[in-house]
Amino acid sequence: MSESTVQQTPRRLRASLAPSDLIFRLVARGGGGLVLLITGGIGVFLAYQAKPTLQTYGWKFFTEQAWQPEANQIGVAAVLFGTVVIATIAIALSFPVALATALFITEWAPRGLKKTLVALVDLMVAVPSIVYGLWGFFLLQPWIIHLSRWITDFFGWIPIFRVDSDPDAAIFDGATYASSAFIAGVVVAMMVMPIACAVMREVFDQTPMGEREAALALGSTSWGVVRAVVLPFGRGGIIGGTMLGLGRALGETIAVVMIVSPLFEINWHVLQSGSITISSMIALRYGEASGSQLNALMAAGLVLFIITLIVNLIAGFVVSRSRSGAGTEI
Amino acid sequence: MRRPTSRPGRRLRNLVLALLLTCAVAMIGAPSAGAGSTAYAPIYGTGSTWSQNALDQWIRDVEPLGMRVEYGGGGSSRGRLDFANKLVDFAISEIPYQGKDPLTGADDTSAGRPYAYMPIVAGGTAFMYQIRVGGQLYRDLRLSGDTITKIFTGKITNWNDAQITRDNNGKKLPNKKIIPVVRSDGSGTTAQFTIWMNTQHKAVWESFCQSTQGRACGQTSYYPTKNFPAVKSQGGSSQMAGYISASYADGAIGYVEYSYALGKDYPVAKVRNNSGYYTLPTAYNTAVALTKAQIETNPSSPLYLTQKLAGVFNHTDRRTYPLSSYSYMILPTSNLSTSKGQTLADFASYFLCKGQQKAAPLGYSPLPLNLVQAAFSQVARVPGSPSTATDITKCGNPTFDGKNLNRNVLADVAPQPLACDHDGAGPSINGVCPPGGPNSPNNPGGPNSPNNPSNPGDGNGNGNGTGTGTGTGTGTGTGTGTGENNGTGTGTGTGTGTGTGTGTGTGTGTGTGTGTGTIDPKTGQPIPSASTSIDPETGQVVNASGNNNAYQPTGSVTELNGDRGGGDMLRNLGLLTAVEVLLVLLVPTLVSRYLQQKRAGK
Amino acid sequence: MTVTRPPELGTENPFLPPTDDVTPIEQAAPIPPEPERRRLRVVDVEDRACLAGSAAAGLSLTWVLYSRILPTEGTLGFIVCWWLSFTAFYLLITGLRRGRVVLADRFAVLLAHSAAGLIGIALASVIGYTLYRGLRALGHWNFFTSDLRTAGPLEPLSAGGALHALAGTLIQISMAIAVTLPLGVLCAVYLTEVGGQASKLVRSVVEAMTALPSIVAGLFAYVVLLIGLGMRLSGFVAAMAISVMMLPIIARSAEVVLRLVPSGLREASLALGATQWRTVWSVVLPTARPGLATALVLGTARGIGETSPVLLTAGFTTYLNLNPFSGPMVSLPLFTFKMSQSPEENYISRAFGAAALLLVLVLLLFAFSRWMASRGRSGTR
């Protein structure tokens, strides 16, 4: 429908559009425009609302740890740190498991089981985060704090595993280990794992049969096939899936709210209680925020959105650039 | 390839149609369902979690009357803001709008929405804790204001701290880390607590703020947690109560309204009042304390009916619970539909009168009648409230006196604290003074004793029996005490004269107030109003003879159990053994394998 | 096992943010017949014996060392140690019997199996625990038939229920679907059928917005609708917040699905003289129907389980409220969240009951989407 005249274009077929088509196009354009308005509007609105805060606090907004609007101290350093820490823990825990599971499903799972397994993983993606939150709070937490203590006990010499409590104390100091970034990270890992796994699995599935068989013909074991063919082929999927999981982990709200004890400070001791993420801060503070505080929350939301956006863009880029996509057309 | 058919298209259309229909039905169906029953309209509010338990109870009470009140909680700050944002019909808050924040200039106002304050219920901000001794909850903690302030500012970090031991009259608590729990959201409970610290223990509080926050905090709705790593934050009263009662929170203490502790059946600390007694935030004690609340009485003031609590904190009545306060509803005085106003007004007239009867069992304290009366005048400002004045005297409020509306009957009949709840006495065990502790309870004089024949509960008996002034007064005091308490028991009062025999008899009898009469004779001296001299003795005696001495031994046993000081050796030995087992298993296999290969190679 | 089978039409999972748009194109390509796959591994008796023996050896060694000799305790530790020693034994035996190449292979296989087992256990524990704890509340019929207006924290589970949350969920999600489905499909039609200069912008914006964290969507609705436009907390605002979150997801997956429709069909229709509108309505959309339905259902599953946008916009109530335009309205996730914050045992049971209900709802939606997808595929071939 573009009016630009290009050489060697085929003859234009439609002299004029039927009225129904005109309306159709109008409506479709309108729909597209509306969606653009709504979705784009959010981004613009966020940026617009965040502007006063960013102007007022400038760079200090990114370096200040405290979130005390009543003391005029507002900064996302601590929340950003918490967000990244929890997401990192989630990815660190879920990546190996997701990768191994994806490989299992594509390579080693019994034939009859494969479909079920794929469905199960997809199902895990669909489980609402509140369910994971409940599970984490009521089942996992009372139990995993002992693991936390164990880690502190043996790896306390690594600074991040240190805890401000004597692991050999007479009475088990559970409260120090509860509500920590680590536990939140484990729960988020549960949510991220199926996402990453599903993407990886899809990409692994597309590994060209010819290359697999070539490797087998050369006498490699199944692990050899994986190492030499599947993994290189699926590298894009691995990275992309992990990044997608990371994007989800960064934005997770309710499970984190349920588990961590809010602490607006950079807390390097991941096993120790107290952390905060941007999304959980919004969930906790929106109700008491008016005027400039609400703007500050929007600014924090914008920061989170931009980070998630970048991560997702990178993921999409990696996946589309890798051989994974192109390789399927043998 | 797909066969293009129109069937799926129609399906799709049907699906969409069905969805739209569902919505439409929902929209149409709902109002008719809502409007059908009464002229009431649903009202919605948010705010304080401090008073939420009472409110929830009242809401359920009025439900059969066709009133539909919905309450979302969320914290006082949230409630005030929601009200200002016109998101709610009413809000509940412990503190009034604070105006402009001096630091940020952020508004804490109603944003122009006209409102009025109305007290809804009184209560005590309690310190709920979990200390387990030998697996059992320790229930008799006593704390002075100074100790509390130091706990919540990180100055006292262990339950075996000397100052806590002193508050508990020498009873040492186990060696356990204190986990102070505070509210993470903007909270009226935090505000009440910090107001109290800011007026009563300003030095400690300010030095804490200066050192950790680098500024003065004053009173604040947000507990300052910066640079205070030991503290745990929880959003909302019920979450705090949940955290304190969690399995891993042994050693935690936090501040909630008394009802939350009652609901969980968890103990709260007895707080030392200005006359040296450690009291619980019961309905009585709160009512006594709040007789000294300074209420703004100028109806034209925007702060009409709000409270100033300095007098409460310093009230010298020995029954006072110092952290008592009122909770307020913020009522809209314009822009409210008549049906909503009607609902709000009828709801208010329920909970100001009959509803107050439920306050005490829940862990709150009913409003005195003068406040009820003033509250009704505020309700009248709500658009749509019925103009008929409610007859206060027929209200059903348990604080009703009949002659003097300003008097709170509860405050008059409130029982005296246990004698052993005084500084340097006791501590009481499960709310009862240790039996057989001969010397303990003679100190307090119960000047009000004749006042409460109506409720001679366990505690009261004690107070009465002991009689007034130590030295000479004994004779009279005992006289009354016996008259009421124990028609049966041992005639006790008579024994006071001298007979030691009776003394012992009653001691074992464990009758409520009985112990009192006996005690004097045993010492032989009614003098010991100077109780301090006796406490250490009593403490020991009690520990040696009474059943309560279980505390200390178990405490130390757990410590010993947990102590792994000597475990290193065991662990090393175990490791050695493990390595040995592994070697025994592996070495022969590997060696034989090696030999085999060597042989095969040859 | 299968050869590279491109993902079925419409199984694009909207929970997963966009991966790439290249792959789906090949859907149209004919799928090569699946070649018989050679059996790569021959598992003989010795291998099985080796596996069983290692497990037994690991168990006994762990029992001796962990439970008897070392000052260690705890079930978890026992299982982990068992697994470790089992792995060690297995690798040792394999290493002794076969070469290093086989050792690596076995190790990888073992790890993959263990990881899958771990995920299986995790999933089973999440679902099983929720259902198990929820049973106490679900066992009472009134849980489905009454709301919570008369049931306080101390009321037994035989009084009050989660009907209001269930109704709220259904109303909110229906409204969200009513908004997002036409808009999303329209947008997708615009992107695939109409196109033009602006479509690139629209596409990239929509894709970017799939990254929008749900809490930010909620905050947006809170600020714009509640604070800005002065609406009250209600089901409608919650539905709008959910819509804001779902719209990019549905639009994007609908677009992917529409792009899979072979252009030959379109051209055939146009060549027969149909207008573009006719073509879209009678050819493109019906062809893509199963895919659209799957995308919609999975998007719905995502929207139905989200707590954070609802948390900010719906308010909280214990009453059944069927009117989304007035008064607060809870949904199942919000109800679960609020109930789980209470320390009272009965409220926690109700939280689990609601969570189990939600889980069942999502499972049903999920099964429905699978069914749709499989039906769609079988119908075409």
Spans of all domains in chain C: 45-138, 163-380
Domain residues for B302?
Answer: 117-413
The confidence band for B64, taking pLDDT boundaries of 50, 70 and 90, is confident
CB contact under 8 A, C286 and B578: no
Question: What is the predicted pLDDT for the residue at C32?
Answer: 63
> From its phi and psi, is residue A262 left (phi > 0), alpha (psi between -120 and 50) or beta?
beta
The B residues from 294 to 313 touching C (CB cutoff 8 Å) are: none
Q: Note whether residue B255 is domain-resident.
A: yes
Q: Note whether residue B15 is domain-resident.
A: no
C163-380: CATH superfamily: MetI-like (1.10.3720.10)
| B319, pLDDT greater than 60 | yes
- Range with the lowest mean pLDDT among A132-141, A311-320, B300-309, C29-38? C29-38
Residues 6 or more apart from C378 whose CB is under 8 A from it? Answer: none
> What's the CA gap between B108 and B532, in Å, rounded?
48
CATH number reported for the structural domain that contains residue B371 in this entry: 3.40.190.10
| A305, pLDDT greater than 60 | yes
DSSP states of A91-138 as a string? HHHHHHHHHHHHHIIIIIS-HHHHHHHHHHHHHHHHS-HHHHHHIIII
> What's the CA gap between C83 and C91, in Å, rounded?
12
Question: What is the predicted pLDDT for the residue at B14?
Answer: 62
Q: What are phi and psi of A291, to 5 degrees?
A: 50, -115
C16: helix, strand or coil: coil
The confidence band for B100, taking pLDDT boundaries of 50, 70 and 90, is low
| Residue C336 amino acid letter | T
> What's the CA gap between B117 and A52, in Å, rounded?
34
Q: Which residue of B has its CA nearest to C345?
A: B264
- Range with the lowest mean pLDDT among A168-182, B580-594, C110-124? A168-182
Interface test with B, best of A171, A259, A260, A284 (most B CBs within 10 A): A171
Q: Cβ distance C249 to C206 under 8 Å?
A: no
Q: What are A13-39's pLDDT values in tens digits?
A: 655 777 888 888 889 988 899 998 888
Domains identified in chain B, total number: 1
Q: Note whether residue B184 is domain-resident.
A: yes
Angle value at C-alpha C322, between C316 and C326, nearest 5 degrees: 60
Q: What are B134-177's pLDDT values in tens digits?
A: 888 888 899 999 999 999 998 998 898 999 998 888 888 888 88
| A188, pLDDT greater than 80 | yes
Chain C partners within 8 Å of B42 (Cβ)? 319, 321, 326-327
The confidence band for A320, taking pLDDT boundaries of 50, 70 and 90, is confident
Q: What are C184-209's pLDDT values in tens digits?
A: 999 999 998 888 888 888 988 888 88
Residues 6 or more apart from C46 whose CB is under 8 A from it? Answer: C97
Q: What are C218-260's pLDDT values in tens digits?
A: 999 999 998 888 888 889 999 999 999 999 989 988 988 898 8
CB contact under 8 A, B177 and A173: yes
Map tokens 């004919």 to a residue.
C30
CB contact under 8 A, C183 and A35: yes
Of B101, B213, B250, the CB nearest to A171: B250
Chain B partners within 8 Å of C285 (Cβ)? 8-9, 12
Question: What is the predicted pLDDT for the residue at C268?
Answer: 92
Share of chain C above pLDDT 90, in %: 28
CB contact under 8 A, B232 and A291: no
> What's the CA gap between A82 and A21, in Å, rounded?
53
Q: What are B423-459's pLDDT values in tens digits?
A: 877 777 777 777 654 443 433 433 333 333 333 333 3
Q: Spell out a b/e string for B49-74, using b for 16 or more CB atoms within 10 Å of the CB, else e.
A: bbbbbbbbbbbbbbeeeebbbbbbbb
CB contact under 8 A, C319 and B16: no
| B563, pLDDT greater than 50 | no
Asked if C30 reaches chain B (Cβ–Cβ under 8 Å), the answer is no
Between C157 and A291, whose confidence is greater? Answer: C157
**Domains along the sequence of chain A with CATH:** 61-321 (1.10.3720.10)
CB contact under 8 A, A221 and C105: yes
Q: Spell out a b/e string for B452-471, using b for 16 or more CB atoms within 10 Å of the CB, else e.
A: beeebebbbbbbbbbbbebe
> What's the CA gap between B419 and B444, in Å, rounded?
6
The contacts found for C41-50 with CB under 8 angstroms, 24 or more apart, are C41/A222, C46/C97, C50/C90, C50/C93, C50/C94, C50/C97
Give how far A168 is from chain B: nearest CA, Å: 7
- Range with the lowest mean pLDDT among A202-216, A219-233, B180-194, B390-404? B390-404
Question: What is the predicted pLDDT for the residue at B383?
Answer: 85
Mean pLDDT estimate for chain A: 84
Residue A284: Cβ-neighbour burial (10 angstroms; 0-12, 13-18, 19+): buried
Question: What is the predicted pLDDT for the residue at A166?
Answer: 65
Chain A residues whose C-beta is within 8 A of a chain B C-beta are 65-66, 68-72, 141-142, 145, 164-165, 168-179, 261-265, 273-274, 284-285, 287-293
Chain A partners within 8 Å of C76 (Cβ)? 143, 146-147
Q: Note whether residue B182 is domain-resident.
A: yes
> What's the CA gap between B326 and B260, in Å, rounded?
16
Q: Note whether residue B484 is domain-resident.
A: no
Asked if C317 reaches chain B (Cβ–Cβ under 8 Å), the answer is yes
Q: Cβ distance A320 to C20 under 8 Å?
A: yes
Q: What are C323-379's pLDDT values in tens digits?
A: 888 888 999 999 999 888 888 888 889 999 999 999 999 989 888 888 877 776 544
Q: Note whether residue B419 is domain-resident.
A: no
| A79, pLDDT greater than 80 | yes
Between A257 and B214, whose confidence is greater? Answer: A257
DSSP states of C147-191 as a string? -STT--TTS-TTS--SHHHHHHHHHHHHHHHHHHHHHHHHHHHII
Torsion, Cα B305 B310 B315 B320, to 10 degrees, reads: 70
Chain C partners within 8 Å of B589 (Cβ)? 96
Subunits in contact with chain C (3 or more CB pairs closer than 8 Å): A, B
Question: What is the predicted pLDDT for the residue at C298?
Answer: 80
Q: Note whether residue B173 is domain-resident.
A: yes
Q: Note whether residue B5 is domain-resident.
A: no
Asked if B559 reaches chain A (Cβ–Cβ under 8 Å), the answer is yes
Roughly how many angstroms between the first and final C-alpha of chain A, as a whole number? Answer: 35
Mean pLDDT estimate for chain B: 72
Q: What are A54-78's pLDDT values in tens digits?
A: 888 888 888 888 887 767 778 889 8
Give how far B117 is from chain A: nearest CA, Å: 20
Of B70, B260, B589, the CB nearest to C328: B70
The confidence band for B28, taking pLDDT boundaries of 50, 70 and 90, is very low
